[in-house]
Structures are given as C-alpha cells and as structure tokens.
Amino acid sequence: AYKRSYGDRAKAQSNPAARALLETMERKKTNLCVSVDTVKPADFLAIIDAVGPYICLIKTHIDILEDFEWSIIERLEELAKKHDFLIFEDRKFADIGNTVAMQYAAGVYKIASWAHITNAHPVPGPSIVKGLSSIGFPLQRGLLLLAEMSTAGALTKGTYTEEAVQMARVHNDFVIGFIAQRRMNGIGAAPGEAQDEDFIILTPGVGLEAKGDAMGQQYRTPREVVLESGCDVIIVGRGVYGKDLSDIDGIRARAERYRGEGWSAYLERIAS
C-alpha cells in the first residue's frame, strides 16, 4: 500500500469515511490536516475558512472552545462543504464501552452527529471500539486508534502498539487507521497474514521551524513523516496557525507551504 496512490487506495476501502478522506486527498491534492487549537470561536472559524482550500481534513478539540454554542457546528459544517474537507474530532476517548458510547453520541457536543472521524486510546481493550462502533458505524463514521504518540517518553510502544494494530484488524469495518508515527500495516501479524490490509496513518508532531515545544511535543518534517516513515496525513497545528491568530494572510501562506511540502513528499514516495 505504501507506494499506491491515495485515489487507488480509496477504491478498496469499505468504510465510507476512509474512502471519502482518501478521495478528497486525491481530488484536492493535499495530505494536510490542520489542527485548529484555539479557544475563541471567531478565531476558530476564521482560521478554518482561511486554510480550507489547502486541507483534506480539519482537526478539532471542540471542548477547548469558550462559549460553545451549536451554531459553531453549523458554521463548521458549512465551511466543510464550501472548501470540500472532512472533520476529525480529536476526542481521544479512553473509557469503558458503555461510557464512551454516551460521550460520543450525547452531551454538549454530540460528536458522532458531525465528526466524520474521531479517535480513541486502545488502553481499555476492544470494548472501547465496540462501544464507539455501536454509535458511529451506523452513521458511516470512522475511528482511529492511537497506536503511537508524538510526545517524549510516550508509553505507546512495543507490544502496546502491536496490540493496538491487532484490535484494529478485528474491527476493520470501523477502525480505519491510526494516529501513529510510521506505517502500521502488517505489524504483529503472523507471516502471510494481513497482506491486503491498508490502514490510514495520520501523524501529529509535524513542524518545519521547531524541533519541539516546552511540554514534550516533538516535531518532524513532512518529508520525514510522509516519505521516510510512510505516513499518509500530516497533522499541523501551531506550525500553521502560529502565534498571531489575527494574521490570516500568514496562516493561509503557511497552510499553502505545508500542503506543498506534504504533497511533494507523497509524490516522491509513490514514484520511488
């Protein structure tokens, strides 16, 4: 799968969210997901409108917004239509199946009703996938498991990562891929098994300027992530929105730059 085009891979996906994501990437020629981690709804929406043309996916932390109201979701959905991107709520569910099903469907945010994709920590075991799938699968949503994290000292390694991939394999109608730092196909599988699997890898910890932050984040370049590690989608937050949220022209220019870097790394990968 590593050298196949996004468009080609889309055709073999049975999950509608996975297929839509890969098709969008091919159509818009972008593997950039912008993480819009802002607390003011006005900044949140202005940044999304500015980066919209350059992204395949917007990543939200909906619970960091101040003064949440449902009209923000309506506006987000309008922007997703206008610019042709999907929505990923980075909720990182981590509880028992019964609880995550309620957190996903109900409460203030009703995540399943608007987020095409969400994610979960595999730490509770397969029951978390079962719980989320009971809500998300009928709505044609997709789930990512956090197989690896980008932070220094992360515990997501070794057999933990391998078992995350096994969990995904068992539920591959709903689990469409991973948050990870490298390609995961075939990991932990018996020889000859899992030959046709094609998990989508979304990778945070991407930056061109900094190597990290003061709180353990570690950055690699789009080229390292896409070309050398075989990941599919680069997730960029501060590298795009920067320090001055009112500098919309700067934000747009950086989104364009990351789109270019990510796409040329991909083109080099599929040609290699």
Residues annotated as part of the active site: 90, 92, 95
Is 242 part of any known ligand binding site? no
Q: How far apart are CA 129 and CA 136, in angstroms?
A: 10
Could you say whether residue 4 binds ligand UP6 (CB under 6 A)? Answer: no
Binding residues for ligand UP6, rule CB under 6 A, total 15
238 belongs to the binding site for ligand UP6 (CB under 6 A): yes
Quick one: which of 24, 30, 150, 161 contacts ligand UP6 (CB under 6 A)?
Answer: 150
Cβ–Cβ < 8 Å for 222, 265: yes
Q: Is 136 in the site for ligand UP6 (CB under 6 A)?
A: no
Burial 54-68 (b: 16+ CB within 10 A, else e): bbbbbbbbbeebeee
The answer to the question of residue 222 lying near ligand UP6 (CB under 6 A) is no
Of the ranges 163-171, 184-192, 232-240, 256-264, which one interacts with ligand UP6 (CB under 6 A)? Answer: 232-240
Distance CA 48, CA 79 (A): 7
Ligand-binding site membership of 237 (annotated): yes
The sign one gets for the Cα dihedral 242, 67, 235, 253 is: negative
Among 92, 78, 82, 74, smallest CA distance to 35 is for 92
Query: In a 10 Å sphere around its CB, with 0-12 CB exposed, 13-18 middle and 19+ buried, how is residue 109 labelled?
Result: buried
**According to CB under 6 A, which one of 88, 239, 245, 262 is a site residue for ligand UP6?**
239
Decide if residue 201 touches ligand UP6 (CB under 6 A).
no
- 38 contacts ligand UP6 (rule: CB under 6 A): no
Which residues sit in the known binding site? 37, 59, 150, 217, 237-238
